[in-house]
Structures are given as C-alpha cells and as structure tokens.
Chains A and B, each alone.
Chain A
Amino acid sequence: MKLYDQAQNLGIRVGSIQVIAFVLLAILGARLYYLQVVKGDYYSDKAENQRIRLIPIPAPRGAIFDRQGKLLVDSRPTYNITLSNEPIKKIDISDRIEDYARGLNVDRQYLIERINLIKKQPGFETMVLKENATIQDITWVAAHESEYPELRIELQPQRFYPLGKTLAHVLGYVGEISPKQLEKPEVIEKGFRPGDIVGKGGLEQYYDEFLRGKPGYRKVIVDSRGRVQSEIEVVQPQAGQDLVSTIDLDLQLAAEEQLANSSTKRGMIISMDPNNGEILVMASAPSFDPNSFVTRIATPEGRKEIAQYYTDKERPLLNRAIQGRYPPGSTWKIPESVAALQQGAITTKSNSIVCGGGIQVGNRFTRDTSGNHGTPNLPSAITHSCDGYYYRLALKMGVQGLVKMVETFDYDKRSGIDLPNEKISQTPKSWMPIVVKNEGKWNDIRTVFAAIGQDTVVVTPIAMIRAVSSVGVQGKMFVPHLLKEFKAIGAIGEEGEANYVPPRQSFGFQHPEPKIIEMTPEQNKMVLEGMWGVVNNGGTAGRFKNPNFEIAGKTGTAQVSEIGSGGAKDHAWFVSFAPAYKPEIAVIGLIENSGFGASNAAPAVIGVYNAYLLKNHSDLLGGQQMAKK
C-alpha cells in the first residue's frame, strides 16, 4: 500500500500510537488493581463508616420513691440540641458560634468552652449544646439543616427533682461525667464515655450503677448529608432500676419545716428506725436545688446559681447529717455511761458520784454549766445532765477508757450508710497522738473536757444517732441505710441473641450483722432510765413529756467558743428514741449556734415525733406537745 511510505515511517507511527493507547489503558488497569484488589477492604470500610451511624437511644434512669411509693425523683423527656463531631472534624467553626448563640439563645462563652472540648477530645461523638430545647430552638435547627449539618436534635430523658430543695442532700443530682473521672482506669473499664450522665452526690451517686440504664441504639444508613435513609437495627434501651428508699416523705417534710423555722435555720435532723437502721428522715439545712445542676447548667443564671452554692458561707451543699462534725456536748454522756458500766468504772450497784458544781484540775476550776447536783446516781446524772459527775467519771475511766468507748461505739469509723463522702468523727482516739506530739503529754483537763463532749470531740450526727439508739434496742447497733429495695427490670431481647441484655433482679439493702454493744439488762435499764427521765421525770427536756408516748432522750448544748468570749452561740442537740422502752423511731436534731439544746433542738425533734404520731398513732398525740409545735 502506498501509504506505507518508508520515508515517513507511517506504519511505525501508527504503531506507536497504538502502543501509547495500550500503555495508557494498562496504567488504568494497574491503578484499578491497586484501588480495588489491594485496598478494596480499606475503601469498603471507609464507605461503610461514612454511611453507617449509630444513634444512641438513651435509657431512662430509675426513679426514686419514698417508703410509701411517693415519687422523689423522676426523669422526663426533653430535647437536646447537640453538636455532632463528624461533619466538623476538619473545619473551623468558630465563625458559626455567633450564629449558634443567637439561634439557640445560649451563652457564647459556654459555646466556646463546649466546642473546644469536643475539638480536644476525639472521643466525643456528640456534645450537648443546649438542654431542654424549646420549639423555637428545634425549628431553628431544622431550618438550618443544610447549612449546619453538625447540629442535631436528640430526645433525652432529663432528671427532674419535683421536690426541689427537699431531701436534696440524700438524693444528690446527676451531671455529665467529668474529664477527671474519665481518666480513672476503673471508669474507662466500665465503658463510660465523655458526655455520659452519672450520679453526683447522694443516692444518685451511691447507686448510680443500678439507677443507670443500658442505652440502646439505632444503627442507620445515612446519605452524604447525614440524613437517615433506612434503619438496619434497633436495640432498645434497658431502663435503670427504680429505687424505693427508706425515707418517709411526710416526716422528712416535717423535719425540714422544723429546720426552716429554727432560729439560725442551720442544722440537721435524722430519724432512724432503731430496730433495723432504716433512715426515715435525713434533713440538712440550708439546702440546694438539684435541678440547678441538671436543667440550668447551660444558662448563665443557672451557672451563677451553682457558683453561689459553692461560695456560700452557710455551705448549702454540705450534708450536715453525715458530713458535719460537731462537738456533741452532753449527748456524749449516753455512750460514756454505757462504756463506764461496761468498763467497771461504775456498777449498777455503786454509781453515785459527787457533782461539786465542777472540778478543780491543777489550778483551773471547770464549772458544771447547770449548777451543783449533789451526789447523783447515774440515771439522775443523765436526767439532769450533771457535768461534775462526768468530769469525775471520765477521770476514773481515764483517757484510755474514753478511747475504748470510741471504739465500742464506732466513733472511729464511718457508719457505713449508703451515701458517698461520709465523714469520720474526731475523738480523743484520733487526737491523742497529735496532742501528745505537740504538748508532750495528754493533760487531765482534756479528759475532763472530753467527758462532756468538748475539745477533742467532734462527731457526725449519724454516728451519734447510731450509738445512742442502740441503748433502746439492747445494744444492737445497725448500719444506717436509705435503700429499701431496688425494683426488678425485664430483659431486653431474647436469650442467646447478640444484643441480649439480661434482666435485673430486685434486691434490698444487704444488712451487715448489727454490732452488739455488750451490756447486761440491768446496765441497759439504768441508762435507759436516765434517758427516760430527761423527758418524763423532770429532766432537761421535761416540758416535752407526753404520757402516751414516752420519749427517751438526751439534750446537749455544745460550746463553740470560749464562754464569755461573745463568740458564736452554742450548738443545740437533742438525741432520742421513742417509746422509751420499746422504740419504734429514733430522732436526732441539731441546730447550729442556737443556744440550749432543750429549747432549740428538742422542739425540732418533737416536731418530727408529732408528725410521726399524727401519721401512725394519732390517738397518742399529747395536747401539750401540739401546743409546743
């Protein structure tokens, strides 16, 4: 063919074009092999990751009830506006903050903090920007769906404390797990993730594991804009277990009313069933509103409110019943009497000691604050709160005797109540090494002061009621507790399925064996007689006598500052149980810096007894007590 002119190499030129074409196709083939065969799994995963999304379904937290089934804490459905990390991973959204703040009506500073947090912690998949979203917020987010695909609307059951400040210290509150907590290995092990809601303080914290449910999830396919196209799988959440507490809400409200009406409005009241340690009342004043920490944490006002709780000098967040430590004053004489009998410092036969209106130790005379009582026997010394008697008794027991007493009545331990952050009392046992180190020896004057619950003695009210109420029940000292029962919860799914969540059984408080305070019936009777006399035989709280319902108790007026120094007034105590010889209920009250125990703490405690009688034995209510209330 004439076309194939040798001079032009046409055949070779056409051939080279063919070769070039084939080489180009071969390059495509090689690249194809690399992408599809070599890296096929990698891209498959990438494709799956971008189309499959797990949307958590939050599990409702268990509710908390009082012993009669009255609702104390609940969860209610609310909508949260959340920020999803996925769409904003690689972009700077700081210019959107202004828009978010305006659109959602959220504090700008708060938004910046939140966004910094999500950017710093890759573990965050979503971050709540606003809880309790309003219809306006939801509409705004929906309207800006394509502009801000990172904003989502999520249903979230939110903790709600319908009683507000009532019982706040016992219930505690919930909040997002803190970054600090998340650093602990045991917390990570349990699968906690940033943004998880956990109990903080009170029963919410102590029983968090059981109150908390197991969240479910929806596995969905989304399109490139994150819109859900279809659902692959749904695993329902398992709700948390409902907690029935030992609290009696009626008595609790009565106690809180007493504290609110007290002279300083600072103090606490505990009521316990001395026969098993069930706590009926635990009131601490001033109190706080747990809702502040839950619903208002994102609002500027709410955050100010919370900051105030922390800086308030009256310490509303302190649960005085288990965290407050006060000199017990004369209430200390009850365990001291039992210990003296146990240790043989006095006997049921020989127990009269001279009062002397006080005692001379070295060159210092320490007065009996209520005068000279002659030579009383033990019941009389209790009934009239004779300091002189106990000064001499304590010297007879020696400081070692007092230390032994501390050990006998567990004043060197926590009570074991099912609440977090309980404090341990301080006693001569804990102070002795320090005093000896600083002063060279333990001076007798300290024993004298310790005899009437001063100086080296500061105790928690829970330790005090536990010790004193044991006198009413033949020396049985129970572990106080707030859990009556956790309700059972059903399983999720069928057994054997991959997503099966087993049912949770109902269970009550696991009672440890009560500690037995060794004493003979005669010894027990003798101390009881003195306590009975305090109210029923012209004792320090004689004006609260109700012949239908005899209370055994002990007043205490604990000195806070040097007498005559013009400092803060004394703490007023009253610790008691009733009926005296077959107690159903024990009540302890403390009003801070209010003065005499009999005139400040005792009326508050009587108020709780009256509420108890009104509810359970209204026929036994005495007219006189009603008047006092």
Chain B
Amino acid sequence: MVAILEKRNLRDFDWLTALLAVAIVSFGVWQIYNAQPTESYWSKQITGLFIALVALTVIAATDYRRVIDAAPIFYGLSLVLLLLVLTPLGVKVNGQQAWLKLPIIGQFQPSEFVKIPTILMLAKYFGARKLGSLKLREILTGALILAAPVGLILLEPDAGQAMTYFPLLAVVLFLSAIKVRYVLLTIVAGLIFMPLAYYVGVETGKIKGYQQERIKVILDPESADPRGYGYHTVQSMITVGKGGLSGIKGDTETSQSVLKFLPEPHTDFIFAVTAENTGFIGCISLLLAYAMLLSRLIAGARQAPDRAGMLVIMAIVGSLTFQIFINVGMALGFLPVIGVPLPLMSAGLSAVLSTFIAIGFVISVKMRRFVN
C-alpha cells in the first residue's frame, strides 16, 4: 500500500493522526471483548480495522480535489443506495430498515457512508463561492443538499443517524461567512423552539411514549421505571459509576454487560463498558485521545490549501464531536437514549470504515498543503 505513495508523500503522511485513530480502535476492540467476551464482535472489529486502514491509505493517496470535483456523482450514487435500503433489498434490524445486503460486499449501513459524499457535496458547493456574506439562496441550497439524504434516512426510520447530519451543514455554513447575528438568532430560536416543539410533539402524539420516557428518565433517573424505557439509562449510569477511579480490575464475570444488565454493550453503550472496565482514568484517557485527534484534524484544516479542503475537514470534526458528545452523554445519563455509535469505539464495520475514510480525506488534504 505504502508503495503507491511517493517518497515525498510518505514524509508528509500524517502518521500521528492515523496512529491515534488506530489506537482508539484497538482500545475499542478490548472494550468490545469486555462487553461480549463470548461473541466474535471483537475479532470482526480487528478485521474491520485492517479493511479501514487500507481504505484510509487509498483515500489519503488520492488527490482530494479530484474527488471533490466528482462529488455530485458520489452524492447521486449514495442517494441511490439510500433508496435501495428502502426497497426489499434492505434489511430490517430492530424495526429499522437501515442495512443493505448486496452480493460480494455483504451487509452494510449506507447511512454511515453517505455522510462523506454529503460533506464533499457541501464542500464543493461552498468551497467554490467568492468572498462576502452568505446569501439566503446559498443557505437554502446547502439545506437542500442535506435534506435529500436526511429525508431518506428518516424514512428508515433512523432519527439518531439523521441527527448526526445536521452538524455538517451547521459547520459548513458557519465557516462560509454566515453572519454572526444569524448564528446567534439560530441559537436563541433553538432554545425557545426546542421545548415548544417537544410540547407540541407530545400533544400531537408525534413524539411517541417511549421517546418521552427516555427524556423523562434523564431528568429524574431514580424514580424511573427500572424495567421500562428508563432502564437503559439507569443501568448505564450504574455501569459507569461502578467503574470508579480505576475500573473493576479483572472482575469481569460479574460485569454489568456479562450479566446482561447493560443493553447493547458492544455498540451504543461501549462507553459504559469502558467506564466499568477502566474507570475514570481509562475514560479520561479516551476523551483526551479524542481531543488530540480533533486537534490534529483542526490543525490540518488550518493548513488546508483551499476552502473546500478546509470545509471537508471541519465538517468531519463537527460530525465526530457531535457523535462523541451525544453517545457519551447518553452513556452518562444526561442525554436521552439515541442510537448513535461512538466513533472508532463501537463495534461495526460500517462505522469504523466511514470514520477512517473521513480521516483518510483529512490526511489527503494535509498531504497536499504545500502543493499550491
């Protein structure tokens, strides 16, 4: 693989970023094993890591500008994939038709991958624009680019995954000279309309009973029905708290996940497993590793040779930050349960692969910083 990189490329390759990502995934493999020692999720994750590494190298070696040029094609193709998911080719898991089963490739989750073409499409559109404040027409175009995949994902329905798309547009608009007063206006409007929307949603029945329960348990976990929808949150908090300062130290036979108190321990609640096994020390280390990774990416964005490259990296930063915050916040019991995987940690080939592809783009952008 390395052979395809030229000597200069090899020198400019961002080893530290790649290494950080690999380290986090490896740490994740250990936690997946802790979560489900009798299952093969952890070994599948190792396989996934190697596939993802290949993808990362290939993407890094490719000139991102050519890829951005071809963004409409990728974007179009991904919309087709999302449409296919809704056809009988799609596979239903836990009531969500979010997977696609194709010959040779196997089963995967298109909504994880579609994020990248969406980022590229946004980067292409907003990267090409001239200086000056953002016009309403431009904002609407950006919204439309986002609306197509989000709409299709909501049809699966996978509200959690759909939510992770919004930071992409937010970051891109913010960095495309949207007026600060619009930003402030949006924040204020959000603060007012979110509770209002919740109230209207409850009244009209759009927000379902179990979704309400999940929100109520955040406000008062102690009095939640321990066998109802609050169960996941309560058990996750117990699992995290039980880890204490340095984790349960090898007493894995009675862990919350092995005794099945913690649901979905290898995917949505992998952070709780990490907390139980490695304690505060392990968790803070993980959060620091994320912080370092994000810093490396942002540093790369600052050095990007063009606006489109910068937008790609920062959109990825926004997406990763958002997912980390939502997922860990859920595990720590202050955000409602939403099925969002923890980047690089949760078991799942699609998620690891798409994150590595994104990081591959970042490295590609950084490698070409001296070209122009």
Contacts and interface: CB of A to CB of B under 8 A. Distances in A.
Contacts of A225: 260
Interface stretch (B33-41, B62-70, B116-124, B239-247): B239-247
Interface stretch (A13-21, A209-217, A318-326): A13-21
A223 B239 CA distance: 14
Interface stretch (B81-89, B95-103, B140-148, B293-301): B293-301
Interface in A1-45: 1, 3, 5, 7-8, 10-11, 13-14, 17-18, 20-22, 24-25, 27-29, 31-33, 35-37, 39-44
Given A51-B259, A91-B225, A29 B284 contact: yes
A370 interface: no
Given A17-B317, A21-B317, A3 B310 contact: yes
A245 B237 CA distance: 60
A36 B245 CA distance: 6
Contact of B318 (A17, A40, A43, A51): A17
Interface string A505-547: 0000000000000000000000000000000000000000000
A43 B261 contact: no
B348 interface: no
Contacts of B325: 24-25, 27-28
Contacts of A50: 238, 261
Contact of A14 (B237, B253, B298): B298
B242 A47 contact: yes
A35 B261 CA distance: 18
A44 B131 contact: no
A229 interface: yes
Nearest to A89: B226
B267 interface: no
Contacts of A27: 325, 329
B283 interface: yes
A87 B227 CA distance: 9
A37 B279 CA distance: 9
Given A36-B243, A39-B241, A40-B242, A8 B259 contact: no
Interface of A is mostly: helix
Contact of A3 (B171, B256, B287, B307): B307
A40 B291 CA distance: 25
With a 10 A CB-CB cut-off, give which of A3, A10, A39, A230 has the most chain B CB atoms: A3
B321 A24 contact: yes
B131 A35 contact: no
B261 A31 contact: no
B174 interface: yes
A76 B146 CA distance: 74
Interface residues of A, number: 45
Given A32-B280, A43-B237, A90 B226 contact: yes
A3 B325 CA distance: 29
B328 interface: yes
A37 B245 contact: yes
A523 B291 CA distance: 111
Contacts of B333: 35
A142 interface: no
Interface string A109-146: 00000000000000000000000000000000000000
A20 B298 CA distance: 12
A43 B298 contact: no
Contact of B237 (A5, A35, A230): A35
A35 B240 contact: yes
B240 A32 contact: yes
B202 to A, nearest CB: 23
Contacts of B334: 31
B153 interface: no
A606 to B, nearest CB: 71
B261 A25 contact: no
A222 interface: yes
24 contacts: A3-B304, A3-B307, A7-B131, A11-B302, A14-B310, A17-B314, A20-B321, A22-B291, A25-B324, A28-B329, A28-B332, A32-B283, A32-B284, A32-B287, A35-B241, A40-B242, A47-B239, A47-B241, A90-B226, A91-B227, A223-B261, A224-B259, A229-B259, A230-B253
Given A25-B321, A51-B254, 19 more contacts: A7-B132, A14-B302, A18-B298, A21-B317, A22-B291, A28-B325, A28-B329, A28-B332, A35-B332, A36-B241, A36-B243, A40-B245, A43-B240, A43-B241, A43-B242, A90-B226, A224-B235, A224-B261, A229-B259
Interface of B: 131-132, 171, 174-175, 177, 225-227, 235, 237-245, 253-254, 256, 259-261, 275, 279-280, 283-284, 287, 290-291, 294-295, 298, 301-304, 306-307, 310, 314, 317-318, 321, 324-325, 328-329, 332-334
